[in-house]
Amino acid sequence: MSKSAKWILVIVGILAASFVIFKMKSKGSKTEKVTTEKAAKRTIIESVSTSGKIYPETEVKVSPDFSGQVTELKIAEGESVKKGQLLARINNRTSIEAPIDGVVLSLKIKKGESVTGNNFSVGTEMMTIADMSALEVRSDVGENDIVKINIGDSADVVVDAYNNRKFKGVVTKIANSTKTSMASLTSNDVTNYEVRIRLDKESYKDLADKVFPFRPGMNVSAEIRTKKEENILSVPIAAVNARVKDSDKSMEDKRREDKVIKDQDAIPTATALDDKLEEVVFIIQKDGTVKKTVVKSGIQDINYIGVMSGLKEGDEVVVGPYIALSKNLKDGMKVKVVPKEKLFEK
């Protein structure tokens, strides 16, 4: 090979290497389009969402103490009764009287039918009487949320039958045990606890002209306000993401790394994974790059989350798009801040 040919090969090699390096640099220096919002102080009200049904706070099932035939029946379903009022007679000598003031919600017997009863067990259920002046919502709340709720917490109750109108309520009872038998629960079961919310009469007093403004069994949804903090530094919830500690790896990257092959027994638990993660935000710097900053989050509502440490008021943080926040953004990466409506323009 001639000397000139060798020089040509050297030059071609240098040019090829330079091209590869240029492509790598241009790829690595890709500018990510993002939208931002500044950290600011706000009032945040934390709440727990739940659903349930309306029931009277007090209802009594009426049963006889003696067996016999119903010879008199003095009331009908839906009638109002007073405590001590005669409801029925058995064998013309045993009187059945109303145990409370209320309304006959259900009547399960007819005149002439036989009923059973004794002093040692519950007899035939003849009727149910309920005090309709005091109503409550009964709902099931999951174990992750039940710890946030306290007796006396206020609630907004939406009744489906009233075109999503909001009524007021207050938490009066929180179950200490789950309805499901402990013996039948498995580690994968969702554990729920019953929460009762008393409806505030003042919030539906304009419905007082109705015989039954609410009927037992009506479907409702409720927002229980569990905590309120004023003047707290906060950012949009989307701004706070989980990343692997001391790394730019995303949570999904870590999950893929920890995924075990089929012949392995050990599977990383959610708790083990959480121990390797930290909450971060990406703050816009003067030179157009982002700085990954570890934060400690606090109370949150449906839009904003409080930040206890790591940020100061006025810091401009990245809030979108999701793919950038959850995966693409790296510490020191160059970004271009654009309005939300221009985020996906080419």
Strand stretches in the chain, DSSP E:
32-38, 40-62, 68-73, 80-81, 86-90, 94-97, 102-107, 114-115, 127-142, 154-159, 166-174, 192-199, 219-236, 241-244, 277-284, 290-294, 296-300, 304-309, 316-320, 335-337
Q: Domain 64-125 adopts which CATH fold?
A: OB fold (Dihydrolipoamide Acetyltransferase, E2P) (2.40.50)
For 32-69, the pLDDT digits (tens) are 899 999 999 999 999 999 999 999 999 999 999 889 99
> Quick check: 32 and 336 in contact, CB under 8 A?
yes
Q: What is the pLDDT of residue 208?
A: 67
For 196-231, the pLDDT digits (tens) are 999 999 999 888 667 778 999 999 999 999 999 999
Q: What is the pLDDT of residue 25?
A: 47
pLDDT category at 276 given cuts 50, 70, 90 is: confident
For 307-324, the pLDDT digits (tens) are 999 999 999 999 999 999
Residue position matching structure tokens 């009426």: 62
Per-domain residue ranges of the chain: 31-44+232-342, 64-125
Evaluate whether the domain defined by 31-44+232-342 bears CATH number 2.40.420.20: yes
